Structure 1
Amino acid sequence: MLTKIFTWWNGATIGALFDIAKRATLVGEDDQGNRYFEERKATLEGRKRRYVLYKGYAEPSRVPADWHGWLHHTFEQPPTIEPFVLKSWEKPHLPNLTGTVFAYRPKGSLAGAGERAKSSSDYESWSPE
């Protein structure tokens, strides 16, 4: 209960949940369990604010492209009404894996196994002579 009051990175705080429940309506949910909301009333600029409540850790790279476009008013209709059509060459969405065990570690990197391959123009330290 205390984490809901004081931490925002473990999901939304109680104040945010109360405010969004009071002013917005649920529009949909993505494959990862993130929920998307839109305010009932438009702002002074004439657009309705849009929100995402992350399931678990708040990591913006977990938002898929279709929902990202809707959140930033690129698409007027949410993916629940007008699904995003993927091209044949597009890969499925992956969140940022940096800092996890699934991060890319090329051969020879400090975090990866193995040694860096020598090159013909390898580094030589500068000397003043």
Structure 2
Amino acid sequence: MVSIGRYIRNIQRSGVKKWIRDMWYIGDAKYGKCVGQDQFGNKYYENLNPEDELPGRHRWVDYSQHNYHASQVPPEWHSWLHHIRNKPPPEDTVMQNLSPPWKGAWVENLTGTRGAYKSYNTAAAKINPWEPKAAPRNSA
């Protein structure tokens, strides 16, 4: 249950502008310590104060884009958000040393956008459409 006092405290801490943005994007008044930012500009927050946040809702992401979805969170930050890792990636030495050098840059899922992968067929068609051959008429 969210209390009015929590909303007022968060407005005082973060300011009206950030509070309005949070209400627009995440639908909740949140205030916490920024623990890092990924390569896409998404910011990650944590608030461990039990008065302010319910257990399990104390880590969140503030997306940099207006049209956001979950695939815009890189795997290392996903593991931190879902409590698989205790420390955020900038502080976790294991996560920093885990990335193999051959691994390519992470990209978001582009399904449903213009950048989506579209396959093409290289096999010959099994059924060919009928194309009528018209003969010229004799005009008499």
User: Structure 2 length as normaliser, TM-score?
Assistant: 0.59
Give 1:117's match in structure 2, choosing from 112, 119, 123: 123
Letter in 1 for 2:47: E
Shift of 1:17: 7.8
Identity %: 31
Larger helix percent: 2
Name which structure has the greater RCO, CA cutoff 8 Å, separation 6+: 1
Alpha-carbon distance in 1 for matches of 2:54, 2:70:
26
Corresponding residue of 2:77: 67
Give 1:91's match in structure 2, choosing from 76, 91, 104: 104
Letter in 2 for 1:94: V
Deviations 1:47-94 (A, max 9, x none): 672100101122110101110010011111101112522124433211
Root mean square deviation, CA, Å: 3.1
User: Structure 1 length as normaliser, TM-score?
Assistant: 0.63
Answering whether residue 32 of structure 2 is matched by residue 19 of structure 1, we say no
* 5+ residue gaps, structure 2: 1-18, 128-140
Shift of 1:16: 4.8
Change in Cα spacing, 1:87 to 1:58, as seen in structure 2 (3 Å) is same
Trace 1:76-87 onto structure 2 (pairs within 5 A).
Answer: 76-83=86-93, 84=95, 85-87=98-100
For the Cα contact (< 8 Å) 2:23–2:29, is it kept in 1? no
The total of aligned residue pairs comes to: 103
Q: Which has the larger radius of gyration?
A: 2
